[in-house]
Amino acid sequence: MWGRKNLIKLAKTAVIKAGVHAYVDRRKKKRVNRGLWQIKISAFVKEQGLSYSRFIDALKKNNIALDRKVLADLAVNNKEVMEKIVAEVKG
């Protein structure tokens, strides 16, 4: 790839390609994180006797506006609060 004749031209091309990969990977990071949040929420909710999809549907029907990032954090670090949310949704 790196020839002798025009290293600056090849370096510019490499920088552009690196920028493209960085852009794609920023988008990919968001997809991966959302999947991880869903797995954490699903694991907690299954212990409480609900499925993930029914839990999210019940949140929407009860107008509880918490995003998946916050719910995943509560499921891991603050189980008491998450149990109250699940109980509110169930009852």
Q: What is the CATH number of the domain that holds 52?
A: 1.10.1900.20
Half-sphere exposure at residue 67, Cβ-oriented, CA atoms within 13 angstroms: 3
Domain residue limits at 24: 7-90
Global pTM reads 0.78
Residues whose CB is less than 8 angstroms from the CB of residue 83 and which lie 6 or more positions away in sequence, other chains included: 48
In-domain check, residue 1: no
In-domain check, residue 2: no
In-domain check, residue 27: yes
In-domain check, residue 12: yes
In-domain check, residue 64: yes
Number of structural domains (the chain) is 1
The answer to whether 55 and 45 have CB atoms below 8 angstroms apart is yes
In-domain check, residue 25: yes
pLDDT tens track, the chain, 91 positions: 556 667 888 888 889 999 999 999 999 999 999 999 999 999 999 999 999 999 999 999 999 999 999 999 999 999 999 999 999 998 7
The answer to whether 45 and 86 have CB atoms below 8 angstroms apart is yes
Q: What is the enclosing helix (H) or strand (E) of 34? A: helix 7-47
